[in-house]
Homo-oligomer: A and B are copies of this chain.
């Protein structure tokens, strides 16, 4: 979350621009839920997953709680219990319905949640039309956070429903995908970077979350970065070389986790008669060796890198290397919702954006001088800075206009259900 005192120094977007952005982002939520039945939208297949219905309501609650209630004097909340039911983790707002029980609540149903969305959308539309300029200027940065927040949950809707459907022995597809001609993986090359003090973090200009600030200096020793993420084919080499059976490659915690959970391949991989398939949003598909490997934990990424005689990059190295690269890639907007092979003959650093979030070796920590915002929105990022690792670059489930070079995503090292891959360094 940006420090509002900083962000509001920028020129505020116009009333129309805000309304246009709002409509566009909100519509996309409806778009991605199109293929889902009411039953699909109930299920919480593990504590990390939330029901689709909950996501749709929670992002709406965000606008109600942080925009309409404080800035629109005439607003009346849609339902007195939603403030409790759809609060995720904001202690400053009040108590929260227990997270692991989100999948145990059948009402309000999907139709009622859509009604809740319409109720808030109408109130927002009126507010954006009629609010005094000054009020609007105060609300605009929060509204922007609300939109970014909804985009984050759009990605979660996709990753969560993938997990939900994967539990079903019928292997149902979220949405079909046309079969594709086999590709060949682009060869892995190394890009070199020299030592020196580099500036890291958000430079100002446009939206950024508070955890990307303040911009500060880091000294980097010389390093090299791989030209593209590790592929399924390369990861299969690791597997065939006994990668999951040899503790010497692994962090101690990772080895313990892998034994406890019986890991022997990335999440969603299934071996049938010696051939590896993977569950995707288009159902069960063969593993394509040219695609970036996906749904691996930090532990697996780290072990495979060590096996390859390399390591994961730090987030500073990743960010410094990304300087000047165009923000292009395989994003949610394209609708593939699955990583794609790196294009042949691509530029030196390919696929830095989109396809898969890339694990870095950096523990998620505050930048020097970091300050969380005052009030409830100060809980957005800072309190999670422990035992998590930073991922960079967005994925095939991220919206193109959501991600940035300085964007810091973060998950615990055992997490696998996001579209997570990795790129090696040395």
Contacts and interface: CB of A to CB of B under 8 A. Distances in A.
Given A38-B38, A45-B104, A85 B413 contact: no
B251 A109 contact: no
Interface in A228-252: 247-248, 250-252
Interface in A296-337: 298-299, 311
Interface stretch (A58-66, A115-123, A124-132, A164-172): A164-172
A368 to B, nearest CB: 4
Contacts of A378: 248
A352 to B, nearest CB: 21
Interface string A365-389: 1101100000000110001111100
Contacts of A366: 311, 361
Interface string A341-373: 000000000000000000001110110110000
Contacts of A221: 216-217, 368-369
Given A219-B217, A368-B221, A40 B107 contact: yes
B167 A37 contact: no
Contact of A247 (B91, B219, B365, B369): B91
A81 B38 contact: no
Nearest to A37: B109
Contacts of A53: 39
Contacts of A413: 386-387
A50 to B, nearest CB: 14
A219 B248 contact: no
Contacts of A169: 81, 84-85, 97, 105
A110 B39 CA distance: 8
Interface in A79-110: 81, 84-85, 89, 91-92, 97, 101, 103-110
A252 B378 CA distance: 12
A146 interface: no
26 contacts: A37-B38, A37-B107, A39-B106, A39-B107, A39-B109, A40-B106, A40-B109, A42-B43, A42-B106, A43-B103, A43-B105, A104-B164, A104-B167, A106-B165, A107-B170, A107-B172, A197-B197, A218-B219, A219-B219, A221-B369, A252-B383, A298-B386, A361-B365, A362-B365, A387-B387, A387-B413
Which 8 pairs of residues, A with B, have the shortest CB-CB distance?
A363-B363, A39-B106, A219-B219, A252-B383, A91-B247, A42-B42, A38-B38, A39-B109
Interface of A: 37-43, 45, 53, 81, 84-85, 89, 91-92, 97, 101, 103-110, 164-165, 167-170, 172, 197, 216-219, 221, 247-248, 250-255, 298-299, 311, 361-363, 365-366, 368-369, 378-379, 383-387, 413
Given A104-B164, A107-B165, A252-B383, 5 more contacts: A38-B109, A43-B106, A89-B252, A221-B368, A363-B363
